[in-house]
Amino acid sequence: MTISPPDLADLPDFPIPRECPYRPSAQHVGLGETGPMTKVKLYNGRTAWLVTGAAQARAVLSDYRRVSIRPYHGNYPLLNEEFEKVVDSGYADVLFGVDPPEHTRQRSMIMPPFTVRKTALLRGDIQRIVDEKLDAMMANGSRSGDLVTQFAQPVPSMVMSLLLGVPYEDHEEFETPAHKLFIPELADEATTELGAYLKKLIEKKEKNPGKGTTGLIDLLITEHLHEGEVTRLELVHIAMAMLVAGTDTTTNVISLGTLALLDNPEQWEALRADPGLVPQAVEEILRYVSLVEAFARVAVEDIDLGGQVIKAGEGILISCAGVNFDPASAAEPNTFDIRRPAKPSFSFSHGIHRCPGDNLARLELEIAFKSLVERMPNLRSALPIDELPSNNNDGTLQRLFEFPVTW
C-alpha cells in the first residue's frame, strides 16, 4: 500500500517567529515533543526535515559523506529570501558553504590562531578592548547609552580585526557593508563593497609585508597565497566570511545574553554576587538564546535515521533550539539558570563544520559579561522588552538592533 505524503497545509511553517528576542519560540521548541524528526514547510513552499533530537542532530552533522552543506543543491532549505541573496553573493563559497575536500583544505589553513593556547594569549588584548569600550560609555559621568552600538558591536569587531590583521581605523569600510550583508536588498552591494575593501587590503599587505597591522590574513598570504594553495578570490571570501561571522554572532550573544540576564533579575544578581559563575553563565546564555534557528543541510544519499528515511535530495534543518532544549541535553531545559553545571551547548554546531572560533568566542563572552557585571552592577534596560527593536520574525541570525540601557 502506498502511503501518501502529508498535505502541505498540515505541516508547520518554519522558521517560527520568536515571542521573546532572547529565547526561541515555544512552538519551535515544542516541535520536538512529537519525536526527534518532523517535516516542516518553508517560505517558498518547499519542505524539509527538521531534526530536533540531540542524538539525531549529531548523527546528521557527523555524516559528511551522505549530507552536504553546499547551498546550491536544488532542495537546500533556505529560510527566507535574505538567505538566497547571501548565497548568490558568493559569501557561502568558502568554509561553511563547502564540503570536503575543499572544506578540509580551507579549514586547515585558518585554524592556527584558534587553538586553546593561541586563543588564551589574546586574553589581555580582549580585556583591554572591553575596558576601552566601557570607559568610553561611562566617560563624563554618563549613566546611559546603547549597549549594541557602544559595546556589543565594537568589541568583537576590534577583536577580529586584531586576529585577522585588519586595521581597525578602517572599521567603517568593513563594518558598514558587513551590517548590510544580511539585508536582502543590500546584500549584493554589501558583498561588492566588502570584497573591494579586502582585495585592496590584501594587495597592500603584499606590497608591504610585515608592516602595519598583521594577523591571519598576512599568514594566509605568505604561506598559502604565494604558494599557490589558495586563489586571490578565495582568500577574499575567506577573510570576508571570518570577519562577518566572527563579529556578528558574538555581538548578538552579548546583547541578547545581557537582555536575558536583566530580564531575569535573580540571574543578574547571582552573577553580580559571584562573578565566578561567568563560565557557566556563558554556556547557559549560548544554550538558551540559541542564536541560530537551524543549521541547513541536504541529503545526497538515503539516510535511515531512527526508523525514518531521509531521501537523497531532501533538505534537512538541524534545529539549534531543538537540541539545546532537548531534555537529553539539559534538565528542565525551559528554565534559564546560570548555576546550571557548565556543559558545552549545541550553539557552535557539531562535526567537521563546528565553528572554528568557539574558543575565541567563549573567551570574549566571558570577559565581556564579567566586566559588565563588575563595572555596571546596576545595569538596567531603558525600555520594556517588547519595545526593543529586533528581528524576531525573520528567522535569520537573531539580533537586537538597539539596546538602550542605564546604569
Kindly state whether residue 217 falls inside one of the protein's structural domains. yes
DSSP per-residue letters across 19-46: SBTTB--HHHHHGGGG-SEEEEE-TTS-
Kindly state whether residue 2 falls inside one of the protein's structural domains. no
- CATH for 167: 1.10.630.10
Kindly state whether residue 222 falls inside one of the protein's structural domains. yes
Kindly state whether residue 160 falls inside one of the protein's structural domains. yes
Structural domain including 177 reads: 8-406
pLDDT at 2 over 50: no
How far apart, in whole angstroms, are the C-alpha atoms of residue 280 and residue 311?
Answer: 39
pLDDT at 91 over 70: no
pLDDT at 227 over 70: yes
Cβ atoms < 10 Å from Cβ of 227: 9
Kindly state whether residue 155 falls inside one of the protein's structural domains. yes
pLDDT at 1 over 60: no
pLDDT tens digits, one per residue of 338-350: 999 888 889 999 9
Kindly state whether residue 1 falls inside one of the protein's structural domains. no
Give the number of domains in the chain: 1
As given in the structure block, the three cell numbers for residue 248 are 556578528
343: exposed, middle or buried (Cβ count in 10 Å: 0-12, 13-18, 19+): exposed
- In single-letter form, the type of residue at position 184 comes to P
Tell me if 328 sits within 8 A of 54, measured CB to CB: yes
pLDDT tens digits, one per residue of 239-259: 999 998 899 999 999 999 999
pLDDT at 89 over 70: no
Kindly state whether residue 90 falls inside one of the protein's structural domains. yes
Kindly state whether residue 13 falls inside one of the protein's structural domains. yes
By three-state DSSP, how is residue 225 classified? helix
